[in-house]
Protein backbone atom coordinates (compact mmCIF):
# COMPACT_ATOMS: atom_id res chain seq x y z
CA UNK A 1 0.00 0.00 0.00
CA UNK A 2 1.38 3.39 -1.00
CA UNK A 3 1.27 6.05 1.67
CA UNK A 4 0.93 9.62 0.42
CA UNK A 5 1.11 12.65 2.69
CA UNK A 6 1.25 16.36 1.95
CA UNK A 7 2.56 19.17 4.11
CA UNK A 8 3.41 22.85 3.83
CA UNK A 9 0.04 24.51 3.34
CA UNK A 10 -0.93 27.72 5.08
CA UNK A 11 -2.05 31.31 4.62
CA UNK A 12 -0.15 33.89 2.60
CA UNK A 13 -0.76 37.31 1.09
CA UNK A 14 -1.08 37.79 -2.67
CA UNK A 15 2.33 37.76 -4.29
CA UNK A 16 3.74 35.52 -1.60
CA UNK A 17 5.20 32.01 -1.80
CA UNK A 18 4.67 28.60 -0.26
CA UNK A 19 6.32 25.24 -0.76
CA UNK A 20 4.32 22.06 -0.49
CA UNK A 21 5.91 18.68 0.12
CA UNK A 22 4.62 15.24 -0.77
CA UNK A 23 6.00 12.03 0.62
CA UNK A 24 4.95 8.95 -1.34
CA UNK A 25 6.54 5.68 -0.32
CA UNK A 26 5.98 2.03 -1.20
CA UNK A 27 9.01 -0.10 -0.49
CA UNK A 28 10.51 -1.58 -2.55
CA UNK A 29 8.72 0.23 -5.39
CA UNK A 30 8.60 3.94 -6.07
CA UNK A 31 5.99 6.12 -7.75
CA UNK A 32 6.14 6.29 -11.52
CA UNK A 33 4.38 9.65 -11.48
CA UNK A 34 3.46 12.08 -8.72
CA UNK A 35 0.85 14.70 -9.40
CA UNK A 36 -0.60 17.72 -7.64
CA UNK A 37 -4.25 18.64 -7.89
CA UNK A 38 -6.33 21.27 -6.15
CA UNK A 39 -9.97 21.82 -5.36
CA UNK A 40 -11.60 25.07 -4.38
CA UNK A 41 -15.05 25.21 -2.72
CA UNK A 42 -17.78 24.61 -5.27
CA UNK A 43 -15.33 23.77 -8.05
CA UNK A 44 -14.08 20.60 -9.66
CA UNK A 45 -10.70 19.14 -8.88
CA UNK A 46 -8.08 20.81 -11.08
CA UNK A 47 -4.75 19.50 -12.33
CA UNK A 48 -1.80 21.57 -11.11
CA UNK A 49 1.40 19.72 -11.97
CA UNK A 50 2.98 16.29 -12.38
CA UNK A 51 6.47 14.83 -12.48
CA UNK A 52 7.69 11.48 -13.74
CA UNK A 53 10.38 9.49 -11.97
CA UNK A 54 13.95 9.82 -13.25
CA UNK A 55 13.02 13.19 -14.71
CA UNK A 56 11.01 11.63 -17.52
CA UNK A 57 8.67 14.60 -17.78
CA UNK A 58 7.15 17.59 -16.03
CA UNK A 59 3.71 19.06 -16.72
CA UNK A 60 1.87 22.14 -15.49
CA UNK A 61 -1.69 23.33 -15.63
CA UNK A 62 -2.19 26.49 -17.66
CA UNK A 63 -3.27 28.55 -14.65
CA UNK A 64 -0.03 27.92 -12.74
CA UNK A 65 2.58 27.65 -15.50
CA UNK A 66 5.38 30.15 -14.91
CA UNK A 67 4.52 30.58 -11.23
CA UNK A 68 4.71 27.05 -9.80
CA UNK A 69 7.66 24.67 -10.00
CA UNK A 70 7.56 20.94 -9.32
CA UNK A 71 10.69 19.06 -8.37
CA UNK A 72 11.78 15.80 -6.81
CA UNK A 73 14.28 15.20 -4.04
CA UNK A 74 15.48 12.02 -5.75
CA UNK A 75 15.07 10.04 -8.97
CA UNK A 76 12.46 7.78 -7.39
CA UNK A 77 9.92 10.53 -6.60
CA UNK A 78 9.59 9.48 -3.00
CA UNK A 79 9.62 13.16 -1.99
CA UNK A 80 8.19 15.75 -4.38
CA UNK A 81 7.96 19.50 -3.89
CA UNK A 82 5.65 22.11 -5.32
CA UNK A 83 7.15 25.60 -5.09
CA UNK A 84 4.38 28.16 -5.48
CA UNK A 85 5.42 31.75 -6.21
CA UNK A 86 3.44 34.89 -6.98
CA UNK A 87 0.38 33.37 -5.39
CA UNK A 88 -3.01 34.80 -6.25
CA UNK A 89 -6.35 34.66 -4.40
CA UNK A 90 -7.62 32.26 -7.06
CA UNK A 91 -4.94 29.78 -5.97
CA UNK A 92 -6.86 29.28 -2.73
CA UNK A 93 -7.82 25.62 -2.52
CA UNK A 94 -7.10 22.30 -0.88
CA UNK A 95 -4.04 20.85 -2.58
CA UNK A 96 -3.76 17.11 -3.00
CA UNK A 97 -0.79 14.95 -3.85
CA UNK A 98 -1.38 11.76 -5.79
CA UNK A 99 0.80 8.90 -6.98
CA UNK A 100 0.70 6.03 -9.42
CA UNK A 101 3.10 3.11 -9.74
CA UNK A 102 2.68 2.81 -13.50
CA UNK A 103 2.32 5.11 -16.48
CA UNK A 104 -0.91 7.07 -15.91
CA UNK A 105 -3.69 5.31 -17.77
CA UNK A 106 -5.61 8.40 -18.85
CA UNK A 107 -2.67 10.76 -18.92
CA UNK A 108 -0.82 12.68 -16.27
CA UNK A 109 -3.42 15.47 -16.10
CA UNK A 110 -6.37 13.23 -15.22
CA UNK A 111 -7.20 12.51 -11.59
CA UNK A 112 -8.50 9.08 -12.52
CA UNK A 113 -4.97 8.03 -13.50
CA UNK A 114 -3.77 8.13 -9.91
CA UNK A 115 -4.35 5.33 -7.44
CA UNK A 116 -3.07 6.83 -4.20
CA UNK A 117 -4.03 10.16 -2.68
CA UNK A 118 -3.09 12.22 0.32
CA UNK A 119 -5.55 13.89 2.67
CA UNK A 120 -4.89 17.36 1.26
CA UNK A 121 -3.43 20.55 2.65
CA UNK A 122 -5.16 23.93 2.68
CA UNK A 123 -3.62 26.90 0.88
CA UNK A 124 -5.25 30.29 1.45
CA UNK A 125 -4.19 33.42 -0.39
CA UNK A 126 -5.77 36.62 0.83
CA UNK A 127 -4.89 40.11 1.98
Helix (H), strand (E), coil (C) string for 21-88: EEEEEECCECCCEEEEEEECCCCCCEEEEEEEHHHCCEEECCCCECCEEEEECCCCCCEEEEEECCCC
Residue among 53, 50, 93 at smallest CA distance from 69: 50
* Distance from C-alpha of 28 to C-alpha of 23, rounded to nearest angstrom: 15
Which has more confidence, 71 or 31? 71
Q: What are the tens digits of pLDDT across the range 63-102?
A: 999 999 999 998 888 899 999 999 999 999 999 999 998 8
pLDDT of 30 > 80? The answer is no
Q: Which pLDDT score, from 0 to 100, does residue 67 have?
A: 98
CA angle 114-120-121, nearest 5°? 140
pLDDT of 10 > 80? The answer is yes
pLDDT of 27 > 70? The answer is no
When pLDDT is averaged across residues 17-35 and rounded to a whole number, the result is 86
pLDDT of 59 > 90? The answer is yes
Q: Which pLDDT score, from 0 to 100, does residue 53 have?
A: 86
Residue among 36, 30, 12 at smallest CA distance from 118: 36
Q: Which pLDDT score, from 0 to 100, does residue 105 have?
A: 86
Calculate the average pLDDT of the chain: 93
Bridge pairing between strands 79-84 and 18-25: antiparallel
Q: Which pLDDT score, from 0 to 100, does residue 26 have?
A: 67
CB-CB neighbours of 22 under 10 Å: 29
Amino acid sequence: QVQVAESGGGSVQPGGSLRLSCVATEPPYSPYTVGWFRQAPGKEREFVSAIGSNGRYVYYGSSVRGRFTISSADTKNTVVYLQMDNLKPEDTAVYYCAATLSRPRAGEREASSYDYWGQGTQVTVSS
